[in-house]
Amino acid sequence: MENDSRMIQSEINAITSGESRTWGQISHLLLFVEISRYYCQKETTTHSFRDFAKPVPRQSFTSWLKSFAENTGINESTLWRYLSAGRYYQQLAGLDVLRHVSILSLPLNQISEDISPESLEILRKIARVAPTEHFISLVEKLLNGDVTRSDLRNVWEAYRPVLEGENIRGRGPRPKQVVPEEIKRREKYYEATVGNALLASDGKWIDRFDPRGYNVFFNISVNVPDISDSFEFSAVAAVRAENGDVYLHGIEISKRLDLALAEQFFVGTLLSDYMWLILREINDEDLESKVIPKHIGILVVENNEIYVVRQAQKIEESGSQLGSLAKVLLAKLL
């Protein structure tokens, strides 16, 4: 116990004197202070800034952390984020399904700074709703540096509607339900699965694309004067073509064909360069249906892969209101 206290004191002295530490090292220290109850130790005779490291009486870990923040100049909320991310990293390391991930064998104070607390925070949210196989894949990619925080945020935005207003701990206001809750959740889950297939595809479902220029936005609402007060795309893919031009592909995700899609296709065509429909399943009758205009591209998703049933085509009306959609997407990027 005495050796633990000396180690903690040494680390705190180093940090308060300005020595650099990674977030993982600071998180490791905070966890050690919490677990060892260092913050509860009895008062010593000195209280100078230099001797802040020496244990003094604290009512709680929270009050100790607040004082630590004041004396080190590290924002208190940042310290809580480090602590939370460190706890989650250790939880991941203890999961049987992740035993094969060798990087998780590294102690918290040795992990790469490329693995940010924010990324682990987003990953924890995704874990609540993503299929196990997809979650494991994301963990591996994050730890190997093959996925960015922005990528994880896009995955989370695709899955987020499945939770229907619940917060990260599973609580929150219950939404109004127009269909049985489980049915509605399955529909959202299908949309999330499709969304992640779009993200993972890198645009390979589009003819003559440049993979360096591919981004997907979800649930995009656009006001079109004199046409629609609030039109919503399920998704929009912004794609750079081989010649450098950028095209906007509107996407509607639906589990069935119905007449309501006709308006989606009409307005969506005006707002985008190309309009697509993603169906849960498709048959020959659907392909001949008058509900789907001939210029609408058709996609299906199987095993997280996107397959092109029919390429989207441009018609005279395509993109006549493109500026309205472009403004919405630009605002999201700024």
pLDDT in tens, 190-234: 788 888 889 888 888 887 666 678 999 998 999 877 676 678 999
Most confident residue range from 179-183, 260-264, 281-285, 297-301: 297-301
Q: Please return the burial class of 138, using the count of CB atoms within 10 Å of its CB with bins 0-12, 13-18 and 19+.
A: buried
13-27, 152-166, 180-194, 282-296: segment of lowest average pLDDT: 180-194
- Considering the chain, what percentage of its residues have pLDDT values greater than 90? 28
Start-to-end CA distance of the chain, whole Å, equals 52
Instruction: Answer yes or no: is pLDDT of 303 > 80.
Output: no
* pLDDT tens sequence across 239-273: 988 788 899 999 998 877 766 687 788 889 999 99
Please give the pLDDT value at position 164.
Answer: 59
Report the residue count for the chain.
334
Across the beta sheet with 209-224, what order do the strands follow? 209-224, 228-241, 246-254, 274-279, 297-302, 305-310
User: Residue 219 region, left (φ>0) first, then alpha (ψ -120 to 50), else beta?
Assistant: left
- Characterise 37 by phi-psi region: left (phi > 0), alpha (psi -120 to 50), beta (else): left
Supply the pLDDT for residue 169.
38
Q: Decide if pLDDT at 179 tops 80.
A: no
Is pTM beyond 0.95 here?
Answer: no
pLDDT tens-digit map of 324-334: 999 999 888 87
Give residue 171's pLDDT band: very low, low, confident or very high (50, 70, 90). very low
269 vs 35 pLDDT, higher one: 269
- Whole-angstrom Cα distance, residue 301 to residue 308? 9
Q: Can you give the pLDDT at residue 180?
A: 41
Q: Name the residue ranges covered by the structural domains of the chain.
A: 2-85, 114-175, 201-333
Confidence of residue 168 (pLDDT cuts 50, 70, 90): very low
Bigger pLDDT: 266 vs 97: 266
Identify the CA nearest to 12 among candidates 60, 56, 78.
56
Q: Is residue 23 predicted with pLDDT exceeding 90?
A: yes
Please tell me the distance from the alpha carbon of residue 277 to that of residue 158, in angstroms, as a whole number: 17
Does residue 312 carry a pLDDT above 90? yes
pLDDT at 322 over 70: yes
Asked if residue 127 has pLDDT above 70, the reply is yes
pLDDT of residue 28: 93
